[in-house]
Structures are given as C-alpha cells and as structure tokens.
Amino acid sequence: MLIDLVGKSALVTGSTQGIGAAIAAGLARAGARVSVNGRTKDSVESALERLRATDPEADLVAAPGDITTDDGLEQVLTALPRTDILVNNLGIFGAVPALDISDAEWRRYFEVNVLAAVRTTRAYLPGMKERGWGRIQNIASDSAVVVPAEMIHYGMSKTALLSVSRGFAKEAAGTGVTVNSVIAGPTHTGGVEDFVYELVDRSLAWDEAQREFMRLHRPQSLIQRLIEPEEIANMVVYLSSPLASATTGGAVRVDGGYVDSILP
C-alpha cells in the first residue's frame, strides 16, 4: 500500500516528543509538509533538529505556540493559516486519587485535552470544507473506554474527545473532509521505562521487563507489550491519506487489544 501525501500540509499539535513527534515523522516520510508544534520556540527547534537528523529530506516547519491560549493559537494560525491535515495530539495526564482532584484540575484537563482540539478544529475545518478535502484526527486513549481509577479526570477528557470527533464528523458530512479519533493504548513514551522498572525487577532486560509489566499490571493487552509510538503514527498516516476516504466519525483503536470489545 503506497501512501502519498506529497502536496499536502499537516499540523501536529504537541509534536515535540513522544507520539506527536512520531506522527510528524511519519507524515513527513509520506511526503507531507509538516508543521511541528510546541509551547515554545526552543522546544520546537530542538524537535526539528532531532527529526531532521533521522530524516534529512523531511519537509518540516516550526509552528510554536501554546494552543490552549488565545495568543498561542493566534501565533500558530499566523504561521500556518491553512492546513490539509490536522492531528490534535496535545494532551496531559497524571495520577490523582479521585476525591483529591480539584475543580481547577478538572477544568485544566478539559481545556487542554478537549477544548484545545475544539479550537483548532474550529479554526481549520471551514477552510477544509471550502476546498473539499481534509483530514482531522484527535488522539484519544484506551482510558476513554477503560477509565483508570487513578486518573478519572484524564479518562473523562478522552471520552469527551470521542464525542467531539463524532460531532465534527457530522459537521463535515458530504464535504470530502473526514474526522476521526485514534484510541491509543499503553505506549512506550518518555519516562515510561523508569515507571515500568519501579514495578518490576530492575535486573530484567527491557523486552522482558515490559512484558512482565504488562502481564502483572496491564493484563488486558493482547500483544502483551507496550505499543511503540511509530505504531500509532502508522494508523494516523493512513487515516490522513486519500486511501481512508470512507473512514469518518470513527474511533479507531491502536491499543494492542487492550480494550476488551469486539467493536472498534
């Protein structure tokens, strides 16, 4: 299957590291001109250096700005007035006992994980509809369906994101624009190795350690290992392409079978 995004522009929010950086790299390999976003100019420039070191031919541009603020979003829109592909990857998470989550934290999780995606979609979707082509993807989580007891505010925000995706897909009906959410499962991102080794024997090699972690602490996983960011990026690149023209309004799982369901 040949995925060709030559001539397409893309914006990946929160793409200076982790899943976002992998998505940016994947879209660039498929030929898209990719705008890398982070809160500061320095973080974005550092990310561009790392991405270009891996793929010197990648067409990457800087789009710094904190999209959770009016000024930050305006900064991004000035750098990138239009885009063909929008990947709302920005998100925060953290473990807090349910009864200890403050009103401020509930609001912060909603504003960062949900409202930021709504605002960028509201900014870019009209242009996509006018041009008759576009792709919007919201990076959700298995926590949207299997809400973790230790971070229900995070689960709430990702559940809301599924609803947002379906709603905007209806807004884009019949226009050539598709809107989907991608449900990412337990993923091997920065800091997770330390987290794993806090729970399993540090003498184990990484491959064995992560499998032990999954067996003991994430037994629902059918692949019995952490997902690599590139594996999530592969799905995003496909959904960003003309080949996925009939997939919209969906919640597509890249969760290693973590969610115990026969439905997508």
Residues belonging to the active site: 154
Nearest CA-CA partner of 180 in 120, 127, 140, 138 = 138
Rounded CA-CA distance 84/252 in Å is: 20
Taking the C-alpha atoms of residue 34 and residue 10, their distance in angstroms, rounded to an integer, is 5
3-class SS of residue 227: strand
The H or E element spanning position 88 is strand 85-88
Residue 134 in 3-state DSSP?
A: strand
- Pairing status of strand 177-184 against strand 134-141: parallel
Alpha helices (H) along the chain: 18-29, 41-54, 70-79, 103-110, 116-131, 152-171, 192-197, 206-217, 229-239
Rounded CA separation 258/38 (Å): 29
Nearest CA to 250 out of 260, 239, 261, 237 is that of 239
For CA atoms 181, 186, 189, 192, the dihedral sign is: positive
Burial readout 151-174 (b: 16 or more C-beta within 10 A, e: otherwise) = bbbbbbbbbbbbebbbebbeebee
